[in-house]
Amino acid sequence: MLFNSLVFLVLVLITFIVYYIPGLKKYQVGILIVSSFVFYAYYKPILLLLFITSILLNTSSSYIVLKEDSLSKQKKVAAFAIALNLLILAFFKYTPLISHTFYKELELNGSWREFFFTIPLPIGISFYTFEGISLLIDVLRDKNSLKEKHNSFWEHLIKTSFFISFFPHLIAGPILKAHDFYPQIKEKYFSDINWEKVIKHLILGYFLKMVVADNLNEITVNITYPFFLGYSSLNLLLLLFGYSMQIFADFAGYSSIAIGLGFLFGYNLPRNFHFPYISQSFAEFWTRWHISLSTWLKEYLYFPLGGNRKGQWRTYFNLFTVMLLGGFWHGAGWSYALWGFGHGSFLAIERLIKDRVKVNNTLLVQILQTAMVFLVVTFLWLLFKLPNFDQVVQFFKALIDNRSMRFNISSKELNLVMLSSFVVLYHACYLLFKNNKVSPATNYNIQWVSYGVLLFLILVNSGNQNAFIYFQF
Amino acid sequence: MVRKIIITGILLFVIFNAMLYLLPIKKRFVYTDVEKSERFLYAGRKFSVITAGSSLIGNFTFETEKRKNYFNLSLPPSGGCTGVKILALTNNIPDTLYLETNYISRGFNNVLIDGLLDKRSYYAKLIFPALQEQNKFFPLIIDKFKSGNTAQASKRKPKDDLFLQLFASTKEEYSKPVNLVKYNKTLLELKKHLEYLSAKGTFIAFFEVPIEHDLVNSPKLVSQRQALKLAFADKKYNWIQPDTTNRYYTGDGKHLLEESFVRFTKYFKTQCNLLKKQGKK
């Protein structure tokens, strides 16, 4: 179900009403679980089978770890369950890629080949698998925090089902961590809703998604083969810039809606984006972009690999490995791996330079660094837009060959600039107001006018309904 | 704060709607299927001459347009059948309907039609024109400030490598005959709608837009033509004969370049006049 569909609004409305009925307080978690299952299975009920299997696997294994006294047994159970989680993810996500690449070597023929080539990707599997793994590791690391509160298997099942399935974050994050979310599970009251936070997050989220991303999508669709061959170099750069804005607006928009919905039901979901395009380094970029994934990778992969505690070269290697795997997490395609490889390499090289060269942090240096990070990040997004690597090469070829073509400024280009300017403005405002103290009254006035205008633009300038880009991951 | 945000948003929405009612703000060119069909549906008047078809006639203008009684209902991806169904279901009966046949095989875009004719959405868009796709805020503003006719056909052939790629894909598309079972089903439904329009007095003429010379007798077009002629053999259906004397050039195998398009438009109008002289209209 899409956040920007009428059926979703109806589901939220019904859930909201039932959720806050005073007599049903005891069943609040159950109500949200049912809604989440409806949300997830609305178009393909069969998907629930795998989803429930994953929930049961993680609930039962984490419960065993909770109740088991022997540490070695706890570790064995957790390791087994994590391996099983990864195996399920690998089967559904990576089998088609592997079989496409190695079908000759694997001697796949006939119906087997067809079967492996067409395994469907269950929506949200990357997200809920990571949350299941997070639960297992958290329980293993600090089981006392959960032990007292989860007396029976039933109680643990209910809370775990809720943790994994809570619909705002289910399909495209933010990826929750068990130790952040479980303590929040308790009775919620209508009077505690912070309406200002709810409305602001929802308006910003829907604006970024429906006004910016969905409209930009109708323009950046021209970055498809062979159409991009007909554009001048400058037009291609502009389209790529638009795609960079689109992917931010799409994903940050989704996350903002998710956080707003979380507040509506009394839950605080973690922030997922923090003005990423002002980053002055790749390391900073990953503290601002898809924060819940990068912190997940840091906590559950980078630190266990040794982080930066095992020497410089090991640190570079760890950064590179984590990003490469992060790339693979995004999509089952070699271009996603290349995207991860690119980010991993830049992170490692940046670290290498920082360890050896000291640069004066002047304003000019800051601007140059920000521009460079933005440019590299934007060019790497091309691997998301054109998952066929040959086409990426063709794009770069066109970028060089079409220099002599005339820069065409049609309504389409103007619309792209207009829509992208909102993302630029969003980042610029942050920079502007970050250090300059604005009086509370001015701040208050700016805010209500701005959000009012955004609401107006949602009503009069929404694009065609499109699925969120991150749904495919 | 929440109340102020909502009031501001709604107030701006009301002002924009009032402007659309009171001022003659209208986009000069509409491109998408939704925009075009909305423009037709919410025009609030009858058009006597209509062309229905695909993007191949997207840039088509008729002399009669100056008299404001012509509408080009070319729906780029949906094609002519969808346009005909919109006419029939909305009871917009033109005096003359010219139907482009190149992409009749695309059938009916029922998602578009259902969305367009959904009662709640129809009345909401009628009362609040700001909700119409053709009145989208930014494109409307840009259209007001951007000069020049952007709805013209491409003036020149694209770069060779792009043309070859596009032409190869068009060639592939035209290399297979149409799926006759599906196509005949489409024709059956089309016939139902055309019979209705014809019964109400509409003069109906089919025409084919010329495409790249090599593709004129491609399996797709040949099979499509044969089935179409068979389904609409009745004398009440008129045919504008294809131009065999001129050679036409396209940007991708199917979309005419500007010069060819102008030549085709002239030819088309001559043929329409010929039909009139023959006493058919």
State the Cα–Cα distance between residues A293 and A54, nearest whole angstrom. 19
Residue B83 counted as domain residue: yes
Residue B147 counted as domain residue: no
When pLDDT is cut at 50, 70 and 90, the band that residue A317 belongs to is confident
Q: For residue A394, which residues of chain B lie inside 8 Å, CB to CB? A: none
When pLDDT is cut at 50, 70 and 90, the band that residue A145 belongs to is low
More confident residue, A471 or A60: A60
- CB–CB contact B146 A414 (8 Å): yes
* Least confidently predicted of A15-29, A356-370, B58-72, B250-264: B58-72
Asked if the model's pLDDT at residue A33 lies above 90, the reply is: yes
Q: For residue A200, which residues of chain B lie inside 8 Å, CB to CB? A: 5
Q: For residue B150, which residues of chain A lie inside 8 Å, CB to CB? A: 410-411
More confident residue, B27 or A144: B27
Residue B260 counted as domain residue: yes
- Is residue B31 a contact partner of residue A229, using CB atoms and an 8 Å limit? no
Name A183's Cβ contacts closer than 8 Å, sequence gap at least 6. A145
Write down the pLDDT at residue A409: 84
Q: For residue A457, which residues of chain B lie inside 8 Å, CB to CB? A: 137
Rounding to the nearest 10 degrees, give the CA dihedral for residues B227, B233, B238, B242. Answer: 40
Domain CATH for B193? 3.40.50
Fill in the DSSP letter of residue B62. Answer: -
Write down the pLDDT at residue B152: 53
**A252-261, A437-446, B51-60, B111-120: which has the highest mean pLDDT?**
A252-261
From chain B, which residues contact A within 8 Å (Cβ)?
1-2, 4-13, 16, 130-131, 135-139, 142-143, 146, 150, 158-159, 161-162, 165-166, 169
Asked if the model's pLDDT at residue B217 lies above 80, the reply is: yes
Name B182's Cβ contacts closer than 8 Å, sequence gap at least 6. B105, B107
Domain assignments of chain A as residue spans, ordered by start: 6-192, 195-472
Write down the pLDDT at residue A471: 57
When pLDDT is cut at 50, 70 and 90, the band that residue B274 belongs to is confident
Question: Could you tell me if residue A68 is left (phi over 0), alpha (psi between -120 and 50 degrees) or otherwise beta?
Answer: beta
Q: Tell me: the pLDDT tens digits for A189-246?
A: 999 999 999 999 999 999 999 999 999 998 998 888 878 888 889 999 999 999 999 9
- CB–CB contact B135 A461 (8 Å): no
- CB–CB contact A415 B165 (8 Å): no
Task: Give the residue-averaged pLDDT of A458-473.
Answer: 74
Choose among B9, B130, B166: nearest Cβ to A226.
B166
Chain B nearest C-alpha distance from A456 (Å): 4
Write down the pLDDT at residue A361: 81
Name A98's Cβ contacts closer than 8 Å, sequence gap at least 6. none
- CB–CB contact A461 B142 (8 Å): no
Closest chain B CA to residue A464: B133
Choose among B2, B130, B159: nearest Cβ to A460.
B130
Beta bridge partners of B253: none
Write down the pLDDT at residue A214: 92
Q: For residue A227, which residues of chain B lie inside 8 Å, CB to CB? A: 162
Q: Tell me: the pLDDT tens digits for A162-192?
A: 999 998 988 777 888 888 888 888 889 999 9
Write down the pLDDT at residue A241: 96
Write down the pLDDT at residue A356: 84
Question: Could you tell me if residue A264 is left (phi over 0), alpha (psi between -120 and 50 degrees) or otherwise beta?
Answer: alpha
Choose among B1, B130, B150: nearest Cβ to A411.
B150
Choose among B1, B143, B159: nearest Cβ to A448.
B1
Q: For residue A203, which residues of chain B lie inside 8 Å, CB to CB? A: 5
Write down how long chain B is: 281
Chain B nearest C-alpha distance from A419 (Å): 9
How confident is the prediction for chain B on average, in pLDDT?
Answer: 85
Total beta-carbon pairs less than 8 A apart between chain A and chain B: 88
Q: For residue A448, which residues of chain B lie inside 8 Å, CB to CB? A: 1, 4-5, 8
Residue B26 counted as domain residue: no
Chain B nearest C-alpha distance from A453 (Å): 6
More confident residue, A87 or A355: A87
Residue B200 counted as domain residue: yes
- CB–CB contact B6 A449 (8 Å): no
- CB–CB contact A460 B136 (8 Å): yes
| Number of separate domains in chain B | 1
When pLDDT is cut at 50, 70 and 90, the band that residue A150 belongs to is low
When pLDDT is cut at 50, 70 and 90, the band that residue B178 belongs to is confident
Chain A nearest C-alpha distance from B189 (Å): 28
- CB–CB contact B8 A226 (8 Å): no
Sign of CA dihedral A420, A421, A423, A428: positive
Write down the pLDDT at residue B67: 58
- CB–CB contact B1 A453 (8 Å): no
Chain B nearest C-alpha distance from A131 (Å): 34
Write down the pLDDT at residue B101: 92
Q: Which of B1, B19, B29, B118 to mutate to test the interface with A (most CBs of A within 10 A)?
A: B1
Nearest partner of B47 among B65, B22, B27, judged by Cα? B65
- CB–CB contact B8 A456 (8 Å): yes
Q: For residue A444, which residues of chain B lie inside 8 Å, CB to CB? A: 1
More confident residue, A203 or A126: A203
More confident residue, B279 or A19: A19
State the Cα–Cα distance between residues B257 and B252, nearest whole angstrom. 9
Chain A nearest C-alpha distance from B15 (Å): 10
Cα end-to-end span (Å), chain A:
15
Q: For residue B9, which residues of chain A lie inside 8 Å, CB to CB? A: 451-456, 458-459
Residue B122 counted as domain residue: no
Write down the pLDDT at residue A424: 95
Asked if the model's pLDDT at residue B148 lies above 70, the reply is: no
Sequence-distant contacts of A345-351: CB under 8 A, at least 24 apart: A345/A320, A346/A282, A346/A376, A347/A282, A347/A283, A347/A286, A347/A319, A347/A320, A347/A323, A348/A316, A348/A317, A348/A319, A348/A320, A350/A281, A350/A282, A350/A283, A351/A283, A351/A315, A351/A316, A351/A319
Residue B139 counted as domain residue: no
Write down the pLDDT at residue A71: 81
How confident is the prediction for chain A on average, in pLDDT?
Answer: 86
Domain that holds residue B162: 31-117+153-277
Q: Tell me: the pLDDT tens digits for A343-391?
A: 988 988 888 888 888 878 888 988 999 999 999 999 999 998 887 888 8
- CB–CB contact B5 A455 (8 Å): yes
- SS3 per-residue string spanning chain A: CCCCCHHHHHHHHHHHHHHCCHHHHHHHHHHHHHHHHHHHHCCCCCHHHHHHHHHHHHHHHHHHHHHCCCHHHHHHHHHHHHHHHHHHHHHHHHHHHHHHHHCCCCCCCHHHHHHHHCCCCCCCHHHHHHHHHHHHHHHHHCCHHHHCCCCCHHHHHHHHHHHHHCHHHHCCCCCCCHHHHHHHCCCCCHHHCCHHHHHHHHHHHHHHHHHHHHHHHHHHCCCCCCHHHHCCHHHHHHHHHHHHHHHHHHHHHHHHHHHHHHHHCCCCCCCCCCCHHHCCCHHHHHHHCCHHHHHHHHHHHHCCCCCCCCCHHHHHHHHHHHHHHHHHHHCCCHHHHHHHHHHHHHHHHHHHHHHHCCCCCCHHHHHHHHHHHHHHHHHHHHHHHCCCHHHHHHHHHHHHHHHHCCCCCCHHHHHHHHHHHHHHHHHHHHHHHHHCCCCHHHHHHHHHHHHHHHHHHHHHCCCCCCCCHHHHC
Chain A nearest C-alpha distance from B141 (Å): 10
Choose among A225, A448, A452: nearest Cβ to B12.
A452
Asked if the model's pLDDT at residue B73 lies above 80, the reply is: yes
When pLDDT is cut at 50, 70 and 90, the band that residue A22 belongs to is confident
Place of tokens 């996350």: A255
- CB–CB contact B8 A229 (8 Å): no
Write down the pLDDT at residue A369: 92
Asked if the model's pLDDT at residue A450 lies above 60, the reply is: yes
Write down the pLDDT at residue B213: 83
Asked if the model's pLDDT at residue B109 lies above 80, the reply is: yes
- The residues of A annotated with a catalytic role in the active site are 330
From chain A, which residues contact B within 8 Å (Cβ)?
195-196, 199-200, 203, 215, 225-227, 229-230, 402, 410-411, 414-415, 418-419, 444, 447-449, 451-461
Q: For residue A6, which residues of chain B lie inside 8 Å, CB to CB? A: none
Choose among A229, A454, A456: nearest Cβ to B159.
A229
